[in-house]
Amino acid sequence: MPFHYIPKVNDYVKWKHMEGWVYFKDEEYISIEIAVKDKLCNKGSFHKKDHLLILCYQNQWNQLEYVTSRESVYDTDMPLVEVAL
């Protein structure tokens, strides 16, 4: 029987031509963080970064390729992807 991967938050996955961290998981979809950049102006904002997320629905999970996992978003084994948007 082939292995059926079920994504979890903090897994690093590849999907189509993109890759990133599973940021959120629901029964119907996951969001994958494919880019992070510093906010231009974070005055009065608790959040210091902008996150670019894509949605991957449950019927597409069989297209995901598992790469690795991390303990938490603060784990520094694999850095977040920094891009200029």
Q: Rg of the chain over CA atoms, in angstroms?
A: 14
Region of residue 16 (left: phi > 0; alpha: psi -120 to 50; beta: else): left
Count of structural domains, the chain: 1
In the predicted model, residues of the chain with pLDDT beneath 70 are: 1-3, 42, 74-85
Q: How far apart are CA 56 and CA 41, in angstroms?
A: 30
Q: How far apart are CA 22 and CA 13, in angstroms?
A: 7
Question: In the prediction, which pLDDT does 84 show?
Answer: 43
* Domain-located, residue 85: no
Tell me whether residue 83 is in a domain. Answer: no
CB 26 within 8 A of CB 33: no
Residue 75 domain flag = no
Cα separation, 9 vs 22, whole angstroms: 5
> Would you state the pLDDT for residue 1?
43
Residue 45 maps to a domain: yes
pTM, rounded to two decimals = 0.77
